[in-house]
Chains A and B, each alone.
Chain A
């Protein structure tokens, strides 16, 4: 567990590549698609209520010590050595940042 945490910080430190501050928000249709994806597809590992499953919990308290950019980096690049896959290719940087921000606020159910 400790090893994993230090690895995570290493990932965050080295991999802010690609996550530039995005100006454009996904449009409402895309937001609805992303919400569905988070609850049902991310939810298949992290739980539909995001309280965790095989993957860790994604509630605001769990993400407090990461910035939205950090969280977006985990989403886009995955976490090496853990089952978390990279979603780049399926999600744009804007998509990932929007999801990260919603997660940090508490995802609207």
Chain B
């Protein structure tokens, strides 16, 4: 009797599990943000199709996402301070909290236990338990004699349960070390430059670099140094020339590293800067179609794909990283603002916001393989990010 009962219970449990989650991996899954309707589409990059859609995520303009280290959950950061945990396998919203009034992005610790969110209002960084989304720590970005709160940008994770972020209004970079079971310890770097608008960390977790809107140049910290300090790199790259009006801020996340070179958008110029990835000295420039927004290396580093600010945002150019030539140019459509490579780089997914489409291209032949209809698609994020520092 007991055995019989147990059998029924087991059968029932496994049926529930099967209904809830197909038995499959998540290594080829990802999400596409539909910014205007507060939804994400969960997609499969092998089948090149949509698996499901999760709605009710609030204001997703400028939304971004990170993944749990098992690649099963996405944490989506909305503009309205919303933090949503999504189960990619069941296509469902696990939990959503509104943790601030206005926020800009987030990061996840190397051990996967902490999710951090950078906020404009109230300016600062808040930390949450990745399992429960319960708050665990709060770092207000107070600066100056009046303790005003600065907007926080460029939040990234670094090895050793560290996070780095940049105070836009204060012109400072802070590093928070958050030991397991302890409280966050903060190291501050002051006077990094005027209006740092975004930052990145290199894939090895060594270099943190903040772009400056108010000056020609970037602020750089070598985290491998015994005593890390801020130094200026690419100072006066504009050589005092008048910069063009900037209709959209460039993004530094996903800065293109290709072998021993890095490619980055020059603010207010129709140029990519090419720099030496060890010395950070400029080694060249590539004249491009417009003001670059994203310059992203294909995962093997052989190509860099670039898109552009309004009003030239219908075009994408592909640069050969060895001879610095533009080897391909095409116009997917108006507001082609986000690109994401499949983990090995054979395909790229591009959201064409104003055409309500996501297009998938072969990166060798440049042929369009598939088109998926989506509602004002913006950011595209694949689970391969779960295994990369700073993404």
Contact = CB atoms under 8 A, between A and B. Distances in A.
B61 A43 contact: yes
Interface stretch (B156-164, B246-254, B362-370): B246-254
A54 B197 contact: yes
A43 B353 CA distance: 13
Contacts, number: 63
Interface residues of B, number: 30
B121 A83 contact: no
A90 interface: yes
Interface stretch (A8-16, A24-32, A44-52, A94-102): A44-52
A52 B245 contact: no
B249 A47 contact: no
A60 interface: no
Contacts of A40: 335, 353-354, 376
B153 interface: yes
Contacts of B80: 49, 51
Interface residues of A, number: 21
Chain A contact residues, majority secondary structure = loop
Contact of A90 (B79, B153, B246, B311): B311
A83 B249 contact: yes
Contacts of B349: none
Interface in B58-79: 59, 61-62, 79
Contacts of B62: 44, 47-48, 53
Contact of B121 (A52, A78, A85): A52
Contact of B310 (A41, A52, A53): A41
Given A43-B61, A90-B311, A53 B246 contact: no
A3 interface: no
10 contacts: A1-B148, A43-B61, A44-B248, A47-B59, A48-B59, A51-B102, A52-B102, A54-B120, A54-B168, A87-B247
B308 interface: no
B213 A83 contact: yes
A36 B62 CA distance: 16
B36 A48 contact: yes
Nearest to A44: B248
A52 B148 CA distance: 17
Contact of A47 (B36, B79, B195): B79
The 10 closest A-B pairs by CB, nearest first: A85-B245, A48-B61, A41-B310, A44-B248, A86-B245, A83-B213, A85-B246, A85-B247, A43-B61, A47-B79
B213 A53 contact: no
B168 A47 contact: no
